[in-house]
């Protein structure tokens, strides 16, 4: 059974596990190791603060159980994450080794982030304050159109894009992991590598690097409807996005993009909505308890089900059942 935590509760577990680094990084106060909480798994989380508005994270961990961390709506900086081993997911998206995510600034909506049991996750991540990124622009110049989605207003939802890690990116990532310097030289070196990766990521966003038309083929649409049918048939125990894509003969990116085009929402959001709709019908019948209804439609955690139901319909499932 998955461990479900709020994002704040998840990070509180790290607060008691800070360990003084005893290897080559010990001399640098800006470089801190957070031991992965033993009750969750094994590994570490390394935070390197390079300056105001600029930080680097290197994490390598493996949970004992599936972990779902519920993140609230929040302000989001410019951020990228490279996956060197394993992978992790957020809502309906799962990113694996050899891929990256690039997130712009703005508002991040409520999200459920998950890590799979016994699945190692090894990442390199950077957070960049929007103002710091903008400081590279000349005073009279605007950000090129193809990059404007990376800097959105505080009230606008942030952008997120995915890509395959190139050979050049892999080289820079290895240079980060094998940084030979200490003190201020280490800080300069790592900061330069963060910006080098940004340049490589921006280069992938240029028009000539963008993919061709994403218009769905009729055969793809038919397979997406097959995926919908599978989700509805396996409501209480649905396949992962990757498994679902394999079942219908699509790659996960095409399925993810196509599902949104065909149904107007992600596969995860579609499944979530349909589960709640079925739960509503079962509660109205009055033959099952709230806990039984929650389990029958795939909610292992009753409190999470109650919160989701209240958010969707404006009342608790128990109150709806008694109507």
User: What is the per-residue pLDDT across 1-41, written as a single tens digit (0 to 9) for each?
Assistant: 688 888 888 888 877 665 544 444 446 889 988 888 888 88
Query: What is residue 10's predicted lDDT score, i.e. its pLDDT?
Result: 83
Give the Cβ contact number of residue 209 at 10 Å: 11
* CATH for the stretch 218-321: 1.10.10.60
Query: What is residue 207's predicted lDDT score, i.e. its pLDDT?
Result: 73
Give the Cβ contact number of residue 19 at 10 Å: 10
90, containing H or E segment: strand 87-90
Here the contacts of 259-262 (C-beta below 8 Å, separation 24 or greater) are 259/224, 259/227, 259/228, 261/216, 262/216, 262/221, 262/224, 262/225
Q: Which residue has the tokens 């990766």?
A: 197
User: What is the per-residue pLDDT across 277-294, written as a single tens digit (0 to 9) for each?
Assistant: 889 989 988 889 999 998
DSSP type of residue 207: G
Q: Where are the domains of the chain?
A: 3-209, 218-321
Helices 252-263 and 267-285 cross at an angle (nearest 10°) of 60
User: What is the per-residue pLDDT across 105-152, written as a single tens digit (0 to 9) for each?
Assistant: 999 888 888 888 878 899 999 999 999 999 998 877 888 888 999 999
User: What is the per-residue pLDDT across 198-229, written as a single tens digit (0 to 9) for each?
Assistant: 999 999 988 754 444 455 676 787 788 788 88
Provide the pLDDT confidence category of residue 77 given band limits of 50, 70 and 90.
very high
Q: Among candidates 33, 61, 29, 37, which has minimal Cα distance to 47?
A: 33
In the chain, which residue ranges form alpha helices assigned H by DSSP? 7-15, 130-134, 167-177, 183-205, 218-233, 241-248, 252-263, 267-285, 290-296, 302-313, 317-321
Spatial separation of the C-alpha atoms in residues 125 and 171, rounded to whole Å = 15
Query: What is residue 22's predicted lDDT score, i.e. its pLDDT?
Result: 41
* Pairing label, strands 87-90, 93-96: antiparallel
**Which CATH superfamily groups domain 3-209?**
Jelly Rolls (2.60.120.10)
Answer with the residue of higher pLDDT: 56 or 212: 56
23 Cβ contact partners less than 8 Å away, ≥ 6 residues apart: none
Q: Among candidates 296, 300, 291, which has minimal Cα distance to 321?
A: 291
Query: What is residue 215's predicted lDDT score, i.e. its pLDDT?
Result: 59
First to last CA, the chain: 32
Question: What string of H, E and C letters represents the secondary structure of 130-166?
Answer: HHHHHCCCCCCCCCCHHHHHHECCCCCECCEEEEECC
Query: What is residue 20's predicted lDDT score, i.e. its pLDDT?
Result: 45
Structure tokens at 116: 């799979």
Provide the pLDDT confidence category of residue 79 given band limits of 50, 70 and 90.
very high
User: What is the per-residue pLDDT across 166-203, written as a single tens digit (0 to 9) for each?
Assistant: 888 888 998 999 888 999 999 999 999 999 999 999 99
Residue 87 has pLDDT above 70, yes or no: yes
Q: Is the pTM of this model over 0.85?
A: no
Residue 267 has pLDDT above 50, yes or no: yes
């Amino acid at each position: 059974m998955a461990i479900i935590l709020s994002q704040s509760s998840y990070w509180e577990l790290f607060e008691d596990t800070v360990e003084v680094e005893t290897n080559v990084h010990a001399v640098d106060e800006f470089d801190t190791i957070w031991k992965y909480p033993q009750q969750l798994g094994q590994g570490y989380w390394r935070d390197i603060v390079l300056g105001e508005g600029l930080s680097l994270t290197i994490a390598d961990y493996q949970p004992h159980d599936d972990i779902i961390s519920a993140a609230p709506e929040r302000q989001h900086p410019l951020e990228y994450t490279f996956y060197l081993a394993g992978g992790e997911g957020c809502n309906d998206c799962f990113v694996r080794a050899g891929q990256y995510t690039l997130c712009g600034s703005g508002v991040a909506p409520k999200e459920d982030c998950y890590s799979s049991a016994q699945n190692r996750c090894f990442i390199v991540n950077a957070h960049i304050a929007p103002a710091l990124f903008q400081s590279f622009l000349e005073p009279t110049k605007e950000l090129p159109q193809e990059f404007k989605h990376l800097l959105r207003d505080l009230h606008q939802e942030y952008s997120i894009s995915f890509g395959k890690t190139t050979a050049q990116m892999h080289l820079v990532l290895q240079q980060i992991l094998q940084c030979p310097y200490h003190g201020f030289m280490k800080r300069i070196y790592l900061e330069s590598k963060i910006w080098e990766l940004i340049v490589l990521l921006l280069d992938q966003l240029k028009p000539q690097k963008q993919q061709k038309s994403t218009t769905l083929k009729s055969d793809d649409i038919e397979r997406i409807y097959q995926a919908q049918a599978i989700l509805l048939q396996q409501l209480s125990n649905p396949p992962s996005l990757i498994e679902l894509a394999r079942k219908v003969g699509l790659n996960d990116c095409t399925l993810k993009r196509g599902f949104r085009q065909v149904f107007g929402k992600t596969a995860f959001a579609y499944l979530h909505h349909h589960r709640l709709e079925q739960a509503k019908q079962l509660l109205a019948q009055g033959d099952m308890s709230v806990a039984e209804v929650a389990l029958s439609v795939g909610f292992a955690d009753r409190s999470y089900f109650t919160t989701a139901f209240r958010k969707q319909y404006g009342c608790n499932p128990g109150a709806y059942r008694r109507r």
